[in-house]
Amino acid sequence: MEYAKMLYSNPRGIGCNKCHGEKGEGTIISQYTLKGKTVVLEAPNITNLSKERFFHALTTQHKVMPTYFLTWQEIDSLYYYVSSEVKK
Compute the distance between CA of residue 63 and CA of residue 34 in angstroms, rounded to an integer: 17
pLDDT tens figures, 23-78: 999 999 999 999 999 999 999 999 999 999 999 999 998 888 888 888 999 999 99
| Global pTM value | 0.82
Question: Domain range for residue 72?
Answer: 2-87
The total number of structural domains that make up the chain: 1
Q: What residue ranges in 1-88 does DSSP mark as E strands?
A: 27-34, 37-43
pLDDT tens figures, 17-30: 999 999 999 999 99
